[in-house]
Amino acid sequence: MTKSAAKNILFIMFDQLRFDYLSCAGHPHLHTPHLDALAAKGTRFTRAYVQSPVCGASRMSTYTGRYASSHGAQWNGFPLRVGEMTMGDHLRANNMSCHLIGKTHMKADVEGMKRLGLSADSVIGARQEECGFDIWARDDGLWAEGPKGFYDQNRSPYNEYLKSKGYPGDNPWAEFANAGIHEGNIASGWFMEHANKPANIREEDSETPWLTGEAMKFIEAQGDTPWLCHLSYIKPHWPYIVPAPYHDMYGPEHVVTAQKSPREHQDPHPVYNAFMNNQIGQTFARDEVREKVIPAYMGLIKQADDQMGRLFAYLEETGRMEDTMVVVTSDHGDYLGDHWLGEKDLFHEPSVKVPLIIYDPSPDALRGATCDALVEAIDLLPTFIEVAGGDVPHHICEGHSLLPWLRGETPDWRDWAVSEYDFSCTPMCPELGLSPTDARLFMVTDQRWKFMHAEGGFAPMLFDMENDPEEYNDLGRSDDRTDIITLMYDRLGQWGRRMSQRVTMSDAQIIPRQGKVPGGGVGIFIGHYEENDVPQDARTKYTGKASEDYT
Amino acid sequence: MTKSAAKNILFIMFDQLRFDYLSCAGHPHLHTPHLDALAAKGTRFTRAYVQSPVCGASRMSTYTGRYASSHGAQWNGFPLRVGEMTMGDHLRANNMSCHLIGKTHMKADVEGMKRLGLSADSVIGARQEECGFDIWARDDGLWAEGPKGFYDQNRSPYNEYLKSKGYPGDNPWAEFANAGIHEGNIASGWFMEHANKPANIREEDSETPWLTGEAMKFIEAQGDTPWLCHLSYIKPHWPYIVPAPYHDMYGPEHVVTAQKSPREHQDPHPVYNAFMNNQIGQTFARDEVREKVIPAYMGLIKQADDQMGRLFAYLEETGRMEDTMVVVTSDHGDYLGDHWLGEKDLFHEPSVKVPLIIYDPSPDALRGATCDALVEAIDLLPTFIEVAGGDVPHHICEGHSLLPWLRGETPDWRDWAVSEYDFSCTPMCPELGLSPTDARLFMVTDQRWKFMHAEGGFAPMLFDMENDPEEYNDLGRSDDRTDIITLMYDRLGQWGRRMSQRVTMSDAQIIPRQGKVPGGGVGIFIGHYEENDVPQDARTKYTGKASEDYT
């Protein structure tokens, strides 16, 4: 086991941040000096994949260290089964606290909690309800409201904060933080025509600075106990709108050309086609949409980077940069019109690949390194367990610690990564004539090939990432690469048979049972004919004078 | 959904009862008139497979309605994860009680219960600890004792019963019920040389009559509430010893020839070879062993059948035969020397196939029918849920109700069945150089072929059950049937991708979310550019005069 000198972990997640919208990752117009500086002090992973390209499922994988079909919370709003072990369970068992500031998108298994008599009033119940975190501030940043009420039934601490700052109304998140103003009227960020307007809020009160401030307060309040702080930002996720001065730092001239090709419309895979033709795909196919949305998206990232500067400076000043691992990642990317798609959901790189930067204060850690290994989001929890000084329980956690990579070691590593997507709750499920059970996709990617299997009787998709890095040319239905398709199905089969649910027995508990202690030491003799086959001292309970004869 | 007129369910399970050791299943010497009579009143399933050929894992599948790798309790003594839903959870939700008399081999997830603060003192905790059953009498019948103490840490109500009847000593189960007497000394049934001796106990006090009596007392005590009684016998499982007069009803002349062939020793599959060469295989390869053990095994079954006569007569007398479904099955079979093996563990028919007889008092149920459909043990729980009047939660229960078959209907049905075996706790795991994770086997069988995949880089096994019903000729490494092997791997792949953990969301909960209510009714607008794209009444919360201007 590789060790880290880090005592604490600052685990920063952005929401919907593309892997390539950082200057250190090569964006031509967006300058992110603070995140770049972190990368210069640590390792940037260039092939980090999420376990599902959608908020809820991806996060539940990150927080449990398990694939989406292992923990079962396979989409937004699917409750995480009561008792499923989380980051908090694992870290607290290793004397590290585990706190949340921001978003999890976790839905509690209220029925399961009721079945087990767990009340949210108790510490145990509260942690079950909050994905294992102790809550500094939970705010999922989705205070949407319609005729049926709120999307999110929780109370928003961010709205309370805004009210304390004098913002009027019941839902200043919607009216101010996520809306502009047009001729005196609310210009809601829910409608992307308004994306180029400044959000109607003081910049320092917007979501990203608010969460940064909370993180600084949290760190300030910590004593000697090692902590993990999951600082989980809401942005640059939609609604795409950002306060001044970020709203007009970028314009259409900074929008990179959409990575899409007319070839992708020629005989497309039916599932891909359904996504291209949905509302989101149709909207993002329009240049005017990209030209309004992407500058706002870039502004949100620029604001985030400035907040990173504020936060990292605070860590330096307080000495925390010397004893704290800092991790920056995202829960998934954003198509932004690439591949004729918006949002995320499918497995092209802009959606399923995320930024991942890890700074480890250990003296032997690399600085300014990049790592091309196939990393999965489920690798974070094992990394954190090792930082906390624990042994990774591999019968529960399905990933592997990244600590060796941070030192330039080359551990035994996976040759392929897996991601999944459950779209049973989307209109594409009935449109494609699928049952909710069959509306599921699986990606297998190695260093060369990316493969997607869709349940429900479809052909697979296959891209040659070396010769077609744009992922335009789907080879899934050609006869050219049946060898690769067979290989990928073999891998998917192997993965499907993985041992994911034997969570109550570790190898360390199993191995001593394999021994050949006669009768197991407890008098179980199977397949023995003669008494004398067995050592006398192992069978003393079965010998001696019979005390009665009933025969 | 097919309905049953049954109000109650008497769910009888024997332990280690082979499918072919009943006269109705064609045994040439063993006459089981009472079980035959039940079959004559109901349906006998001729191809019923358990989900794992070992007590604990098989039972956990039966009690949860889920494959072994779905519930994770994949071997004896592997705790069933806290919160995993059981027969008791499902039936009580449908107003049917769920009681246990006898064995479950369930080990509680004590660590998980502790993590969730569940105490065995509470009703919820007690059910978690007892696999969801309410306990009339739990007795796993394995009161083995060695230098390290007892195999089973529970208290044996059967031992208490024997003591109340005057049997002396601390463990009369071992000294009397499961031992004979030889020259005044204990002749323990743990050693098969004693199998032909009568057990040193009054026949009416032996395990099978005791449990039958408890079942009659249980039924007597029931009021109007519908009940399921899991009457779970300990026998004919080893120790192989039976009281008079059953101990000498059968002799070597009634032992059928072992189903084994020297061909099976020619270049055997490495995993199969390891099992043939273990202590049990070596012992059962000896004729003298079979000639002592099998008559005792037959005597135990004969006694069981007589107890069925007693129990069924009681049901007739009390009117319960008119309102009670009666199910008889086993948790796995017994090789008894077939295929050079003893015990169970692998997938030959004597091990993985079990007897299954279902009597349904409904007027439209078939009488004296046999059904050759591929049935799995996980089909029982859905059957019982339907008897209780419930809808089967197919996002949790992986099997299908058998009720249609009982009426001669032909439901849409599986073409192949799956069983699994985890041998990580056996000496064969290290002998074969396997990690505990890789010591796992998977069977796929259809009406013609039986296939076995072993993790760890081995070739598969394949038998043609039509041309080689004895399962002597392993085609897994021949080039003749690569088509079938490919097909079987495809099926195993499909099964591996099954949706087994999305247990918190039913299809009925998912389907309404697919609808196209604008913004989901809660104001979530994704991919909308113009406000006017969206009906005004769906976005009222995002419109109107801005109450302040902060821009």
Q: Who contacts A266 (Cβ-Cβ below 8 Å, separation ≥6)?
A: none
The answer to whether A347 and A441 are in contact (CB under 8 A) is yes
DSSP state letter for A176 = I
Distance from CA of A378 to the nearest CA of B (A): 17
Q: Does the distance separating the beta carbons of A283 and B529 come in below 8 Å?
A: yes
pLDDT at B518: 83
Distance from CA of A487 to the nearest CA of B (A): 12
Choose among A149, A179, A181: nearest Cβ to B522. Answer: A149
Provide the pairing of β-strand A324-330 with A353-359: antiparallel
Q: Which two tokens stand for residue A211?
A: 């969460």
Q: Which residues of B touch A201 (CB under 8 A)?
A: 550
Phi-psi region of A131 (alpha: psi -120 to 50; beta: other; left: phi over 0): left
Q: How many CB pairs under 8 A join A and B?
A: 385
**Domain identity same for B442 and B529:** no
**Domain identity same for A207 and A313:** yes
The answer to whether A34 and A312 are in contact (CB under 8 A) is yes
Cα A173 to Cα A156: distance, rounded to the nearest angstrom: 9
**Domain identity same for B520 and B467:** no
Cα B498 to Cα B398: distance, rounded to the nearest angstrom: 9
Q: Does the distance separating the beta carbons of A527 and B342 come in below 8 Å?
A: yes
User: Could you tell me the CATH number of the domain that includes residue A455?
Assistant: 3.40.720.10
Cα B366 to Cα A227: distance, rounded to the nearest angstrom: 65
Q: Which two tokens stand for residue A160?
A: 């309370």
Q: Which residue's structure tokens are 């954190």?
A: A384
pTM over 0.80: yes
pLDDT beneath 70: ranges in chain B: none
Q: Does the distance separating the beta carbons of B502 and A74 come in below 8 Å?
A: yes
Share of residues in chain A with pLDDT > 70 (%): 100
Q: Does the distance separating the beta carbons of A529 and B286 come in below 8 Å?
A: yes
**Domain identity same for B238 and B269:** yes
Dihedral sign computed on CA atoms, order A470, A473, A477, A482: negative
Q: Does the distance separating the beta carbons of B116 and A128 come in below 8 Å?
A: yes
Q: Which residues of A touch B539 (CB under 8 A)?
A: 146, 188, 190
Nearest residue on chain B to A543, alpha-carbon basis: B186
Long-range contacts of A53-56 (CB under 8 A, 24+ apart): A53/A332, A53/A333, A53/A344, A53/A345, A53/A346, A53/A347, A53/A351, A53/A352, A53/A419, A53/A421, A54/A332, A54/A344, A54/A345, A54/A421, A55/A15, A55/A16, A55/A103, A55/A105, A55/A237, A55/A331, A55/A332, A56/A105, A56/A106, A56/A107
**Domain identity same for A514 and A491:** no
Choose among A150, A436, A524: nearest Cβ to B510. Answer: A436
Cα B270 to Cα B458: distance, rounded to the nearest angstrom: 8
Cα B128 to Cα B118: distance, rounded to the nearest angstrom: 8
Question: What is chain B's alpha carbon radius of gyration, rounded to the nearest angstrom?
Answer: 26
3-state secondary structure of B64: helix
At A2, is the pLDDT very low, low, confident or very high (cuts 50, 70, 90)?
A: confident
The answer to whether A248 and A117 are in contact (CB under 8 A) is no
Q: Which residues of B touch A74 (CB under 8 A)?
A: 502
Q: Who contacts A436 (Cβ-Cβ below 8 Å, separation ≥6)?
A: A424, A425, A429, B507, B510, B511
Q: Does the distance separating the beta carbons of B514 and A426 come in below 8 Å?
A: yes
Q: Does the distance separating the beta carbons of A492 and B492 come in below 8 Å?
A: no
3-state secondary structure of B438: coil
**Domain identity same for A226 and A110:** yes
- Residue B357, beta-bridge partner list: B44, B328
Is residue B92 included in any domain, yes or no? yes
**Domain identity same for B490 and B514:** no
Distance from CA of B361 to the nearest CA of A (A): 33
CA atoms within 13 A on the CB side of B99: 21
- Condensed to tens digits (0 to 9), the pLDDT of residues A410-430 reads 999 999 999 999 999 999 999
Residue A189 pLDDT > 80: yes
Nearest residue on chain B to A424, alpha-carbon basis: B510
Choose among A70, A192, A197: nearest Cβ to B501. Answer: A70
Q: Does the distance separating the beta carbons of A124 and B72 come in below 8 Å?
A: no
- Residue A419, beta-bridge partner list: A443
Is residue A547 included in any domain, yes or no? no
pLDDT at A517: 80
Q: Does the distance separating the beta carbons of A282 and B70 come in below 8 Å?
A: no
Q: Write the single-letter amino acid at A316.
A: E
The answer to whether A439 and A432 are in contact (CB under 8 A) is yes
**DSSP count for chain B of H helices, then E strands:** 18, 17
Q: Which two tokens stand for residue A403?
A: 């600590």
Q: From residue A515, how far is each of A429, A518, B53, B75, B143 by CA, in Å?
A: 51, 9, 21, 16, 21
3-state secondary structure of B82: coil
Is residue B2 included in any domain, yes or no? no
**Domain identity same for B454 and B514:** no
Q: Which residues of A touch B55 (CB under 8 A)?
A: none
Furthest CA-CA distance within chain A: 103
Other beta carbons within 10 Å of A438: 16
Distance from CA of A318 to the nearest CA of B (A): 34
CA atoms within 13 A on the CB side of A464: 11
Choose among B200, B281, B514: nearest Cβ to A430. Answer: B514
**Domain identity same for A345 and A427:** yes
Provide the pairing of β-strand B134-138 with B97-102: parallel
Furthest CA-CA distance within chain B: 103
Question: What is chain A's alpha carbon radius of gyration, rounded to the nearest angstrom?
Answer: 26
Is residue B262 included in any domain, yes or no? yes
**Domain identity same for B446 and B538:** no
Q: Does the distance separating the beta carbons of A244 and B82 come in below 8 Å?
A: no
ipTM for the predicted complex: 0.96
Choose among A168, A528, A548: nearest Cβ to B168. Answer: A548
pLDDT at A515: 73
Beta strands in A379-429 (DSSP E): 417-422
Is residue B549 included in any domain, yes or no? no
Is residue A252 included in any domain, yes or no? yes
**Domain identity same for A514 and A464:** no
- Condensed to tens digits (0 to 9), the pLDDT of residues A197-209 reads 999 999 999 999 9
**Domain identity same for B399 and B530:** no
Q: Does the distance separating the beta carbons of A529 and B186 come in below 8 Å?
A: no
Minimal CA–CA distance to A17: which of A273, A262, A208? A208
Q: Does the distance separating the beta carbons of A176 and B548 come in below 8 Å?
A: yes
- Residue A329, beta-bridge partner list: A13, A356
Is residue A1 included in any domain, yes or no? no
Cα A293 to Cα A236: distance, rounded to the nearest angstrom: 11
Minimal CA–CA distance to A349: which of A60, A31, A26, A78? A26
Mean pLDDT of chain A: 97
Number of domains in chain A: 2
- Condensed to tens digits (0 to 9), the pLDDT of residues A214-268 reads 999 999 999 999 999 999 999 999 999 999 999 999 999 999 999 999 999 999 9
3-state secondary structure of A129: helix
pLDDT at A73: 98
Question: What is the span of the domain harbouring residue A519?
Answer: 507-542
Choose among B109, B198, B283: nearest Cβ to A528. Answer: B283
The answer to whether B549 and A200 are in contact (CB under 8 A) is yes
Is residue A502 included in any domain, yes or no? no
Other beta carbons within 10 Å of A472: 15
Q: Which residues of A touch B540 (CB under 8 A)?
A: 147
Q: Which residues of A touch B510 (CB under 8 A)?
A: 424-425, 436
